[in-house]
Structure 1
Amino acid sequence: MINPHNVSRLVSNYISELLPSSNLTNAYTPRDEDVARHIVHTIESVLDCTHYSFETEETLDFIYNFGEQTEDTEIDSDDENDESYTEEDVEEKDNGLLNHFSLEYMQKAVDYYDEVNVNTGKKSHSWSSFQRRFRRIKDKNYINRFRTYLQQKGTKKHKLEEIDAFVCSSFEKARDQFLFTHDIQLRRWALQKAHELEEHSFLASEKWLRNFKHRHGICSRHVTKLVTMKEVENVDTINESAEKFVSDVKKLLPSYNESNVFNTDQLGLELEMHSNRTLSFEGEKITVATVRSKHNITHSYTVQPILSMEGTPVGPLFLCLKEANGHMSDNIKQNLFKTDNVVLTCSKSGKLTTSLVQYWSDNVLLPLVGNRKCILLSDYWGGQRTDKLYEKMKHLKRVEIPKSTTSMIQPLDVGWNRQYKYFIRQMYDHVRLYDLDVNLAQRNNIIKMNSLAYNQMTSPKFKPMGRYAWYQSGYLEDNPGPFQNTKELCFSFGDQRCSEFQCKIKAIECFSKSLNIKLEHVPSTYRNLERVYNNLGKIHREQGDYKAALINYRKALDMELNYDSPEEITVAKYYNSIVSSCITKTNTNTIWLDNSITVTEGNNRENGSNQLDRPRGICIDDDEQVIYIVDTSNHRIIEWKYGSPNGQIVASGNRAGKRTDQLNNPTYVVVDKRKDCLIICDHGNRRVVRWPRRNGINGEIIITDVDGTGLTINNDGYFYISDYEKHEVRRWRTGNTNGTVVAGSHGQDNRLDQLNSSGCIVIDKDYSVYISDEYTFQASNPLDEFILEMQNLPYAEKIYPVSTYLLKRLDDYTNIQHLYPIVTFSNYLIEKLNHRIKRIDAVQTKMIYYLTQDNDRDITKKLFEDFLDAWYALTFKEVRYGCQTPKFEHVVSKEKFAENTSIAMLLLTSSRDDSILLPACLKTIAELQNEIVNYFQNTIETTTKTKQQCVPLQSIRPEHIFSLDRNDLNRKLINDSLVLNYQYGKSKDIIYDYEEMEITLRNMISKLVLIDTDKLNFLTYQFELYGENTSLINEVRARIKQQQQLTNDDRTKLNSLINTMNHDDILHYLGSLDNIFTYIRTIAVEKLTEDMTIQLFV
């Protein structure tokens, strides 16, 4: 028990002993009262406690020994004014130190304190001067402590900091040399440094190690790549070669389109892929995971994709399977899964050899490159370095990525291959986790799995990821911005339903149409869904192509899944009815020669073996050098070999009839080489017939109740038939009774989902359909000049003025099927007038017509001027005929016409599809609506001051077409609600639907007036003219007389005009006997004003 009175007396005695009696005073100060009061409070707190103890903590900052005297007590008074002291000395240089001192700080203080003046032999600095310099040192005893710490090489805290810094530096040096480093090495470095610092109490414990790794962000990592020490030593050389290669390639890139810049690489995939990490419980000593087969995780197969600089994979995926014998038997080949986006081969090791690279070059690269000017980036691997592999591709330039640099500058290695592996690995993990009875290491499942993964990764949604890989490798200057990876796109946790069997949990999201599929259903449903995947993937893969702009138009895409009839699962693609010419691009450098070679002479219109009567279609078998001609009016199919004076009847020839050995006005024929037969559209009998090619007597009716005017067959044996009366195209398979509608079937008109008397059909390798639509405008290619002076043409050119010119100038003219009057297929042309078939040989001359790069502006400007001169000749204000000589006056001056045409070119350069040059300009030549300017008011800039101002029609000049910013135009279209702004999820970023913009621009063009004539109003329908057939000429006149939409005055003038023309004048005015039909809609009738167009057929 504490007695406070005893404590008080003892304190009084201690104070009496501490202070002399001379300092005692009787007066109490306020400060004395405060101190006494605090002492009493302290005693009271002790009285209230049941237990108490006193602890003493010694630190450098709080231990003061005021009683000690030092040798520095006696200092001359004049030292207080040390002349060496300056204000700069006051500034402390130990930034970052708070309540502790570093060894460097201690050493500075001791050295400054011990400094001696050489002249006087005394200390250079007084204590007051020292304190002004080192304000944090409050007592001279710090100096002695500092000396002790310096002798001991610092405090324990300082030593720990040095140990930490040494271990961190050693670790960084080891990793810079790519050396293996483990926990035990960190502890060895720490103990080594502690021994140097004589800190024997440091043990490098587990706790210290854990804290050290946490402080410096160090963890155990799986080694993903091994390199040799030589590579490490040559790292500077490797970096220099990588930088030089990228720099050299970037100099080449301006000469190539991004779609023609490729990177290819081989990617090895284990037969059974697995992760090296898994979630498990803390503390377990062994973490075990299961696989189906240990053999499969040590053996692999190879895939080889091609990534374009646009960011999307192109061409099919090359897949090399591992086969024990290095080849597949015929039985295995017959049972292999067939898919269009995979080219298959095999080897004993599952890896590629030089011969297999040759196979890849012939079957993947060559069809992709064709005659295009391309550049290919591939690595140093010896199997693909020989020039012989690429000798068939004359315009392909291969550049070799330097050795040991692929991880830095090869786009596939940088940002694509790992994402592809992730996709495949997720399938394996899902199968194992849910114990599915699916062996993904089997041949067909490997093919299906890679086909599915490759199909999904060709979607445009992966395009930003692909472009970022090129940017990260150094080939692109501008960062493409954020992107979503495979996990975010395909394996998200949004809609968890499986679209195939309505399961509760999905595994893969097919974002082509938000089609979610549970993985165990992929093998069983792939057969049904393969065409859906292929078609959707290829639609997504198209960027900038005219057909993709129409096919992928959001409002015209309709996916039909019919699981009750698996064979009928497809993607129904509705096409813009503007597409009438059937164009398949095969050679971008081909134009027509001036001269043609007559393959088959006419010999008048009769039914002899060397005669034809109104042939309507042909089919060429290049393998056998045979032309099959549909001799329509003779109701037969003729086989005509090149150079032969006579043809041979191979089908019918028994006059018109309904028997199986007869045809009635056939319209089309194709060759089915798989069954060695002809497929014939028997139009008059409303059926399709299969007829043996060799010694066939009778045909087999395979489809009935169809008015077929166009027919084609794809690689899978499906027939596509255009029905002239129903205005639709259906896909048929042998045995089907109805077929599946793939275009049209919504009435007769020119909407995007309608056809108007459809004709010829072409199916390309991507299953895209081109349909000729007779009553809808389409012209396929631009002209570099087209000056038609009708009044002075020679007679031969009066008959064929436009057609002759087109045959000379049209680009991409291989494999083009035209409308019924003129059918061109594989460089052949049916000429109706004299019933001959001509073969047109092409030359390799490229007409460049859509260039906006700086180095091509002169070419583009020349094209613009030629185009202007050519089409200005067609804009007439009025047509007046004398006896036989027509005279014309232009609607506007050439200068005003140039302004109008500038807007047409503006529309064109805003589009990514160069093939629309002619059709767009045909519809925008004449006086354009002023409102068109408003759509582009913020996209045309001559100076910054004109920004945000409406550009008047008169101020638009040809040079504006070279400075158009497409992104600004797209943004303007969206802001004006002309196209939709598609936003995915909660993203606020505008995602441009370029295909819809393409359609919007085309629709805007289609509403413009082409030729604004004052008085000439006639022909709202199509008609045909044949040679000297005067009855047709008279029918034209009769139809014009019956036209009810004209006023009496206009009708009188028009009738007078037509009746005063002779046959040659009518043919002359209408263009040509090749059916270059001109439609001029009346502008006097109000209800036709909204749909004014000119329609031209080639």
Structure 2
Amino acid sequence: MSEPSTSGGNTCQEDDLSFMASYVKQDVTDALKVCANTLESLKICEGTPSDVITNNKVILLGKTMAEACIDVMKDFDFYEDYHLFLPEEEVSSDKSEEPIICDSSPEEEDTSNTCSFSTLASSQPESDYEPESKKQKIMDYIPLKTKIKIVNMVRGHPKWSLKTIHERGGRAFKSRSQLTRWCQEIERGGGNKEKYEMINKWTLDRFRKARTEKKPVTTRMLREWASQAAVQFENFQFVESVTWVTKWKLIFKIRQRKVTRYIKSRNALDIPTILSEAEKFQKRIAKQIVKFQKDFVINTGQTGCEYRADVRRILSNKGEKTTEVFLGDFNKLTHSYTAQYAITASGKVLPKIFLCMQEPKGTFGPRVSATIKNTSEIYGNIHVTASKSGKLTKAHFCEFVDHIIKPYCNREEFLLILDSWGGETDTAHFNSVFTDNEGNCTSMVEIIPPHCTPYCQPCDVYFFRQVKNFIKKIQNSVEVLQSNCSRARRF
């Protein structure tokens, strides 16, 4: 390889290139090509070099880069066996020398065999080797595992020089005076950074276990778990402050989430089994869907809706101490009704929606019945009934089948996907209502396995969330509230 040069002359003298005896010049040429390709990939350089270079800035830059390359080649060492030798991996030539692993466990602590290396440092002769700062920058933080490996390596090979230890992968080891301090840190379970990491990991494990079991977790619980983890370290000052818990949540991407579903049955906690059953159902239903037209593959489900959506946050003046909102009748915030929708595989909603309102006696009075009849005639897309709780019973579901499903399907063959709720699983009513001209049943009912609704039912997976968001937007419309009119009349 030619000497580094530019149009400005040689960068260094011949007597400075004695290190080139340890290099193959072709290897240097190839290394420069790899360097150029790397810079091109980073979009630092592009194009081909100019034939004549007259720009003084470029000449100075080239000289500086050449000098940097020479410095790198002077200090660069490559070892194919660049790794740490653990004591159990190395067979010592002297059988009397057995490596000792420092263990902080009080049960196994032996005072006669402490990891104090003051005598070892004084008894072993040091060579004239001094580590060069340019070879490798020592890390400010050295992991506890690395310290243990280096301590074991030095203990297992007390005759190794500092240079040999560096060649074997112990570049973080500066001098033998470190051994005493490292051994003390190992006995204590590590330095402050290791203790913080253990506290973070302990808290994270407790959090993951709680969420796997579907238990509620609060910020106060996180701070209590961290405090419990810190007790095991003596003379370690740890404060489970707001700053710590905020950083902890940012590191592990923990956020406050709105609870979307409450679980009452312990069987619903067996998530792997539920997911397995859901997957089996999806595979089975996929084979059945292809036998029907998409307009007649129907899924239906119930959802609870408030009469008036609660308003938690609004825009108001900065700094005000009390923010008040007029919502009218508070009963509309505490009472709800049940809506049952039916959707098809083709993306359609059945022409009518089934609504079950809450009435103390379970039926409407004469005045309310007249209002409901008039409203139903105006809009034509709702069927309204009532119950004491505002929830559906088996009789209400039969009413839903007669007034919503039957007018839509008529005598067409259809597939109906239902929940595992007991009020819907009785297929006798379907066999009597849905028949063709020859008396054959035209309905096929598939029941979603228990606890699999959040994974298998299209209404729960996607549709109901969109419906509730739409209802909330309408109810929170200032224009609708002030004008006291119906949004549907304007469409």
**What TM-score, normalized by structure 1, do the two folds share?**
0.30
Q: Residue type of the partner of 2:193?
A: K
1:108 is the counterpart of 2:149: yes
Equivalence map 1:300-319=2 (5 Å): 300-319=336-355
2:125 matched to which residue of 1?
74
Equivalence map 1:404-443=2 (5 Å): 404-431=451-478, 436=482, 438=484
Cα deviation, residue 437, structure 1: 5.3
2:240 matched to which residue of 1?
204
Q: Of the candidates 187, 205, 210, which is equivalent to residue 151 of structure 1?
A: 187
Answer yes or no: is the 8 Å Cα contact 1:159–1:199 preserved in 2: no
Answer yes or no: is the 8 Å Cα contact 1:315–1:365 preserved in 2: no
CA distance in 2, matches of 1:390, 1:232: 29
Assess, with a 3 A threshold, how the Cα gap between structure 1 residues 366 and 139 changes in structure 2: closer, same or farther: same
1:522 is the counterpart of 2:487: yes
Answer yes or no: is the 8 Å Cα contact 2:139–2:172 preserved in 1: no
Answer yes or no: is the 8 Å Cα contact 1:263–1:307 preserved in 2: yes
2:162 matched to which residue of 1?
127
CA distance in 1, matches of 2:325, 2:457: 34
Assess, with a 3 A threshold, how the Cα gap between structure 1 residues 360 and 411 changes in structure 2: closer, same or farther: same
CA distance in 2, matches of 1:170, 1:288: 40
Q: Of the candidates 259, 267, 277, which is equivalent to residue 295 of structure 2?
A: 259
Cα deviation, residue 285, structure 1: 8.8
Cα deviation, residue 277, structure 1: 4.9
Answer yes or no: is the 8 Å Cα contact 1:263–1:376 preserved in 2: yes
Answer yes or no: is the 8 Å Cα contact 2:214–2:269 preserved in 1: no
CA distance in 1, matches of 2:346, 2:215: 38
Q: Of the candidates 270, 275, 281, which is equivalent to residue 245 of structure 1?
A: 281
1:397 is the counterpart of 2:444: yes
Assess, with a 3 A threshold, how the Cα gap between structure 1 residues 397 and 213 changes in structure 2: closer, same or farther: same
- Gaps spanning 5+ residues in structure 2: where? 1-118, 130-135, 435-440
Q: Of the candidates 340, 348, 364, which is equivalent to residue 388 of structure 2?
A: 348
Corresponding residue SS for 1:397: strand
CA distance in 1, matches of 2:422, 2:397: 11
The C-alpha deviation readout for 1:279-336, integer Å capped at 9, x for no partner, is 6789999876553233222221121111111122123111222233322344443333
Assess, with a 3 A threshold, how the Cα gap between structure 1 residues 280 and 377 changes in structure 2: closer, same or farther: farther
Assess, with a 3 A threshold, how the Cα gap between structure 1 residues 74 and 99 changes in structure 2: closer, same or farther: same
Q: Of the candidates 144, 163, 172, which is equivalent to residue 136 of structure 1?
A: 172
Q: Residue type of the partner of 1:105?
A: T
CA distance in 1, matches of 2:428, 2:312: 41
Equivalence map 1:536-935=2 (5 Å): none
Answer yes or no: is the 8 Å Cα contact 1:316–1:341 preserved in 2: yes
Equivalence map 1:56-95=2 (5 Å): 70-74=121-125
1:99 matched to which residue of 2?
140
Cα deviation, residue 388, structure 1: 2.6
2:12 matched to which residue of 1?
none
2:62 matched to which residue of 1?
none
1:971 matched to which residue of 2?
none
The C-alpha deviation readout for 1:728-778, integer Å capped at 9, x for no partner, is xxxxxxxxxxxxxxxxxxxxxxxxxxxxxxxxxxxxxxxxxxxxxxxxxxx
The C-alpha deviation readout for 1:98-123, integer Å capped at 9, x for no partner, is 4320110111111100015xxxxxx3
1:375 is the counterpart of 2:415: yes
Task: State the number of aligned residues.
Answer: 354
The C-alpha deviation readout for 1:632-665, integer Å capped at 9, x for no partner, is xxxxxxxxxxxxxxxxxxxxxxxxxxxxxxxxxx
Assess, with a 3 A threshold, how the Cα gap between structure 1 residues 102 and 424 changes in structure 2: closer, same or farther: same
Assess, with a 3 A threshold, how the Cα gap between structure 1 residues 174 and 278 changes in structure 2: closer, same or farther: farther
Cα deviation, residue 410, structure 1: 0.5
2:210 matched to which residue of 1?
174
CA distance in 2, matches of 1:148, 1:321: 72
CA distance in 1, matches of 2:200, 2:468: 40
Q: Residue type of the partner of 2:487?
A: V
Q: Residue type of the partner of 1:130?
A: I
Corresponding residue SS for 1:262: strand
- Indicate the percent of aligned positions where both proteins have the same amino acid: 26
1:843 matched to which residue of 2?
none
CA distance in 2, matches of 1:178, 1:383: 28
Cα deviation, residue 144, structure 1: 2.4
Corresponding residue SS for 1:212: helix
CA distance in 1, matches of 2:121, 2:319: 60
Assess, with a 3 A threshold, how the Cα gap between structure 1 residues 112 and 177 changes in structure 2: closer, same or farther: same
Cα deviation, residue 69, structure 1: 9.9
CA distance in 1, matches of 2:232, 2:334: 48
The structure with the greater share of residues assigned to helix is 2
Cα deviation, residue 350, structure 1: 2.1
Answer yes or no: is the 8 Å Cα contact 1:270–1:296 preserved in 2: yes
1:359 is the counterpart of 2:399: yes
Corresponding residue SS for 2:284: helix
**Larger gyration radius, structure 1 or structure 2:** 1
Q: Residue type of the partner of 1:74?
A: P
Assess, with a 3 A threshold, how the Cα gap between structure 1 residues 69 and 169 changes in structure 2: closer, same or farther: closer
Q: Residue type of the partner of 1:157?
A: K
Answer yes or no: is the 8 Å Cα contact 2:420–2:449 preserved in 1: yes
Q: Residue type of the partner of 2:214?
A: F
1:222 matched to which residue of 2?
258
The C-alpha deviation readout for 1:867-920, integer Å capped at 9, x for no partner, is xxxxxxxxxxxxxxxxxxxxxxxxxxxxxxxxxxxxxxxxxxxxxxxxxxxxxx
1:274 is the counterpart of 2:315: no
Assess, with a 3 A threshold, how the Cα gap between structure 1 residues 385 and 140 changes in structure 2: closer, same or farther: same
Answer yes or no: is the 8 Å Cα contact 1:275–1:425 preserved in 2: no
Assess, with a 3 A threshold, how the Cα gap between structure 1 residues 232 and 347 changes in structure 2: closer, same or farther: closer
Answer yes or no: is the 8 Å Cα contact 2:338–2:390 preserved in 1: yes
CA distance in 2, matches of 1:414, 1:314: 18
Assess, with a 3 A threshold, how the Cα gap between structure 1 residues 291 and 240 changes in structure 2: closer, same or farther: same
Corresponding residue SS for 1:412: helix
Compare 123-132 and 309-318 and name the one that shifted more: 123-132
CA distance in 2, matches of 1:521, 1:254: 41
Q: Residue type of the partner of 2:163?
A: S
Corresponding residue SS for 2:385: strand
Assess, with a 3 A threshold, how the Cα gap between structure 1 residues 282 and 397 changes in structure 2: closer, same or farther: farther
CA distance in 1, matches of 2:148, 2:451: 50
Answer yes or no: is the 8 Å Cα contact 1:273–1:428 preserved in 2: yes
Q: Of the candidates 249, 254, 258, which is equivalent to residue 213 of structure 1?
A: 249
- Gaps spanning 5+ residues in structure 1: where? 1-67, 81-91, 117-122, 439-519, 534-1098
Cα deviation, residue 224, structure 1: 2.3
Assess, with a 3 A threshold, how the Cα gap between structure 1 residues 284 and 240 changes in structure 2: closer, same or farther: farther
Cα deviation, residue 253, structure 1: 1.6
Corresponding residue SS for 1:71: helix
Cα deviation, residue 175, structure 1: 1.1
